[in-house]
Chains A and B, each alone.
Chain A
């Protein structure tokens, strides 16, 4: 007997079975792969933090970034990152897993007026101290995030940016070296005020030689993503200002 594929009953049953089958396949896959994915995400965070403080495998070309290899990142992270702090209001505590704190959730808590935790990582390389702060913001299409490494004079020692869905070739280039490298040496202070760093269109210093103008050259065709990066940095600086003040006072 041929199937009556046009009847309403058949259609409903077919839809129901399809939903169950597809749902089960995806649920099974998601739970089976979850441990691996979590592990990869953890390593990625460690790689990003180390990248911001200049621990990476970058070569001479200024294209894409090269992280510390995944198989050694855990040990490297433990050897370079000396302290992981969590700021909760006026209280600062140590937490060895502060890097796993989801900044997005904490920012949402701040908006709701609830308690929040802000992580800071203190790294040491060649006898120099780095204060690495996570950032989270909005680009053109979706979330952007990253890390900024400062020294005790509030000079940027390195940054790392990443994005969820910025346009390839345009906004997605915030994670290219030629953009990120420009931040190195810029100060987030304008005199004594915390100014952040603006991604400026029409910057007349494309070689980025002036390092105290709080500006880096924008990416062509990526105005909104660039503005998102500027906003993300200044919001983060505002948020961490009380802590940054304590570093400067030292």
Chain B
């Protein structure tokens, strides 16, 4: 027997492309704008969200029959906040350097609308295993876009990838800079992320016309 049924596989694969939380549902844009100026930050954020959404979806799913509907949003927020604080504290104790890189994302993870969206739309109505897969799928879909945006912004904005210069030295004018190329300062400010996300949406919809809404 396969580990994952076809339905289960779809839970992971759909959010990667045709039901991507950023490009199709247009959620999580705020964090995509804020932290994608460098690739490393995008990667750290993606991994953090995979953990929080995967675990959070399971917790909410396990509690789904006992959560009072009047306070369900507060309960969801508490679950996210608790998970994020646990991760932060454990890292601070055992992986101090990594925890410092992560510090700035803690607030952003708690307010990430994809997480609340998946709790509300999926985990409250499905079992733990399927909720877990849904959480992993959606956070992977989110992470993929973050990494693509981070790649272009860091490369075109700073001429580096993961902080390593790949286009030469912009001040000494070596490598590509010797030919007159300049770093595009616009790429490192948040509006550039909107443009990159916009281009990804455009490419995705032109490849798959079924995604284009009818007016």
Contacts and interface: CB of A to CB of B under 8 A. Distances in A.
A72 interface: no
Interface in B43-92: 65-71, 74-75, 78, 82, 85-86, 89-90, 92
A169 B82 contact: no
A114 interface: no
Interface of B: 34-38, 41, 65-71, 74-75, 78, 82, 85-86, 89-90, 92-94, 96, 103-104, 107, 153-154, 157-158, 160, 163-165, 171, 185, 188-189
Given A70-B96, A168-B35, 12 more contacts: A3-B65, A5-B69, A6-B68, A11-B70, A14-B71, A18-B78, A25-B86, A36-B92, A164-B104, A167-B35, A168-B34, A168-B41
B94 A36 contact: yes
Given A18-B75, A22-B78, A169 B154 contact: yes
A4 B68 CA distance: 9
Contacts of B94: 36
Contacts of B86: 25-26, 29
B185 to A, nearest CB: 5
Contacts of A25: 82, 86
Contacts of B69: 5-6
Contact of B171 (A3, A61, A206): A206
Contacts of B96: 40, 44, 70
Q: Which of A10, A22, A25 has the largest number of chain B CB atoms within 10 A?
A: A22
A133 B84 CA distance: 34
Contacts, number: 93
Interface residues of A, number: 35
Interface of A: 3, 5-6, 10-11, 14-15, 18, 22, 25-26, 29-30, 33, 36-37, 40, 44, 61, 63-64, 70, 164-170, 172, 176, 206-207, 220-221
Contacts of A22: 78, 82
A170 B37 contact: yes
Nearest to B34: A167
12 contacts: A5-B66, A6-B70, A15-B68, A18-B78, A33-B90, A63-B160, A164-B103, A165-B107, A168-B34, A168-B41, A169-B158, A221-B189
A40 B75 CA distance: 33
Q: Which 6 A-B pairs have the closest CB atoms?
A: A169-B37, A168-B41, A36-B93, A33-B93, A11-B68, A63-B163
A172 B164 CA distance: 16
Contacts of A172: 104
Given A63-B164, A168-B41, A169-B154, A14 B67 contact: yes
A63 B40 CA distance: 13
A61 B162 CA distance: 13
A40 B69 CA distance: 42
Given A61-B164, A206-B171, A169 B93 contact: no
Nearest to A40: B96
Contacts of A176: 163
A164 B101 CA distance: 10
Contacts of B89: 29-30, 33, 37
Contacts of A70: 96
A37 B92 contact: yes
